[in-house]
Amino acid sequence: MTAATSAPAVPTYRQPTRRWAEAGLFLGAFLVGAAAYIQVDLAILGHLASDTVPVLSAVAALLLVAHLGVRILARYSDVILVPAVATLNILGLAMIHRLDLAEIQRAQRNGGEVPSPDVYSQLTWTALGVVLCVTVLVVVRDHRTLQRYTYTAMFVGLVLLLLPLAPFIGAKVNGAILWVRFAGLSFQPSELAKILLTIFFAGYLTVTRNSLALVRTKVMGLEFPRGRDLGPLLVAWFVSLAVLVFERDLGTSLLFFGLFVSLLYIATQRRSWLVLGAVLFISGAVLAYLAFGHVRLRVDVWLHPFADEADTSYQIAQSLYGFASGGMFGSGLGQGFPQLVPYAKSDFIIAAFGEELGLIGLMAMLVLYGVVVERGLRTAVACRDVFGTLLAAGLSISLGLQVFVVVGGVSRLVPLTGLTTPFLAQGGSSLVANWIAVGLLIRISDTARRPDQSGVGLEDAPTQVVAR
Partner 1 sequence: MIRSVRRLAVVLSLLLVAMLANLTYLQYFSAAEVRAKPGNSRVLLEEYSRQRGPILLGSTAIASSIPTADQLKFLRQYTSGPLYAPATGFYSVVYGATGIERTENSVLSGSDDRFFVDRVQQLFANRGVKGGAVRLTLDPAAQKAAYDGLAGRTGAVVAIDPRTGAILAMVSSPSFDPNLLSSHDPATIRKTYDAYSADPAQPLLNRPIAMTLPPGSTFKLVTAAAALESGRYTATTIVPGPASLPLPTSTKVLNNWSGAACGPGGKTTFENALAISCNTAFASIGLDLGADALLAQAEKFGFNDSFDIPLRAATSRFPTDLDRPQTAMAAIGQFDVTATALQMAMVGAGIGNNGQVMSPYLVAQTLSPELEVLKNAEPTSYSQAMSPANAATLLGMMVTVVEQGTGSNGRIPGYTVGGKTGTAQTAPGQPPHAWFVGVAPANRPGGASVAVAVVLQNGGGATEISGNKLAAPIAKTVMEAVLKP
CA distances from 459 to 387, 456, 466 (A): 15, 8, 13
Minimum CB separation of residue 403 from partner 1 in Å reads: 8
Give CA–CA dist 188/426, Å, rounded. 12
Give CA–CA dist 268/213, Å, rounded. 5
Minimum CB separation of residue 378 from partner 1 in Å reads: 9
CA angle at residue 320 from 317 to 325, to 5 degrees? Answer: 125
Minimum CB separation of residue 405 from partner 1 in Å reads: 9
Across 223-240, b (16+ Cβ under 10 Å) vs e yields: ebbeeebeebbeebbebb
Q: Using the minimum distance from each CB to partner 1, give the nearer residue, 229 or 355.
A: 355
Minimum CB separation of residue 372 from partner 1 in Å reads: 11
CA angle at residue 320 from 314 to 325, to 5 degrees? Answer: 125
Q: Using the minimum distance from each CB to partner 1, give the nearer residue, 231 or 327.
A: 327
Give CA–CA dist 144/273, Å, rounded. 26
DSSP-derived 3-state class of residue 80:
coil
Q: Using the minimum distance from each CB to partner 1, give the nearer residue, 321 or 348.
A: 321
The span from the first CA to the last CA of the chain, in angstroms, equals: 29
Exposure on the CB side of residue 434, measured as CA atoms within 13 A? 33
- Return the biggest CA–CA distance within the chain: 79
Minimum CB separation of residue 161 from partner 1 in Å reads: 23
Minimum CB separation of residue 209 from partner 1 in Å reads: 9
In DSSP terms, 185 is beta-bridged to 182
In DSSP terms, 187 is beta-bridged to 180
The residues that touch partner 1, with contacts defined as CB under 8 A, are 106, 109, 262, 265-267, 269, 306, 309, 317, 320-328, 336-337, 340, 354, 358-359, 362-363, 366-367, 369-370, 373-374, 377, 380-381, 386, 389, 393, 397, 400-401, 403-404, 407-408, 411-413, 468
Q: Using the minimum distance from each CB to partner 1, give the nearer residue, 106 or 296.
A: 106
Q: Using the minimum distance from each CB to partner 1, give the nearer residue, 99 or 393.
A: 393
Q: Using the minimum distance from each CB to partner 1, give the nearer residue, 179 or 321.
A: 321
**What's the one-letter identity of residue 361?**
G
Minimum CB separation of residue 187 from partner 1 in Å reads: 29
Q: Using the minimum distance from each CB to partner 1, give the nearer residue, 170 or 376.
A: 376
Q: Using the minimum distance from each CB to partner 1, give the nearer residue, 139 or 363.
A: 363
List of residues 6+ apart from 22 with CB closer than 8 A: 67, 70, 71, 79, 80, 82, 83
Minimum CB separation of residue 226 from partner 1 in Å reads: 21
